Amino acid sequence: MVGPGASGAMIAMDSEDEAHKELDALVENISRILEHEDEKLYSREVVEEFRNPQNIGRMADADGSGVADGLCGDTMEFYVKIKSDRIETCMFYTDGCGATIASGSRLSRFVTGMDLEAAMTVKPNDLVSLLSGLPPDHEHCASLAVIALRNALRDYYKRAGIERKDAE
């Protein structure tokens, strides 16, 4: 004969198990919805760049480094290594949103190997196009990346004692 205690314990175990399963299903469902929302809000390029960011981190032996502060409170750092007037390698670091990570990653890939003066003329809109668009309230994330890169290049020019007139 099964006593009420034993039966109660069994029921408690079952419902705990069920609750876990329900919770797992809920979490999975929410992630699926969020992923779907991301894909609706952001282009495939942004989502892929964000999921697999390149050149992320701080560079200890950079030839130039720069920071940009966004009005949103986020920041971006850019680091460049220069060889023969070209960006040999670069890295970025940010505490910003996913669009900022995607912007830093795409920009770093775009300017690697680029002539310094050409890199100085890259505009936020160029980066937005490379990312196949950003939602209007996230376009400033691209500006943050471009400004940080320009500041890193200016730092390189300064360290190298090269005087140049900025074409804004």
Residues that bind ligand FES (CB under 6 A): 70, 72, 74, 96-97, 99-100, 138, 141, 144
Report in angstroms how near the CB of residue 138 gets to ligand FES at its nearest: 6
Q: Minimum CB separation from ligand FES for residue 9, in Å?
A: 50
For ligand FES, the closer of residues 87 and 99 by Cβ is 99
CB nearer to ligand FES: give 38 or 89.
Answer: 38
C-beta separation of 81 from 87 below 8 A: yes
| Minimum CB–partner distance for residue 4 and ligand FES (Å) | 57
Cα dihedral across residues 126, 127, 132, 136: positive or negative:
negative
Please report which residue ranges of 112-138 form alpha helices under DSSP H: 116-120, 124-130
- Residue 97, both tokens: 């949103």
Nearer to ligand FES, 72 or 114 (CB): 72
Q: Which is nearer to ligand FES, 76 or 122 (CB)?
A: 76
Can you say whether residue 144 is alpha, beta or left, with left for phi > 0 and alpha for psi between -120 and 50 degrees? Answer: alpha
CB distance 84 to 167 below 8 Å: no
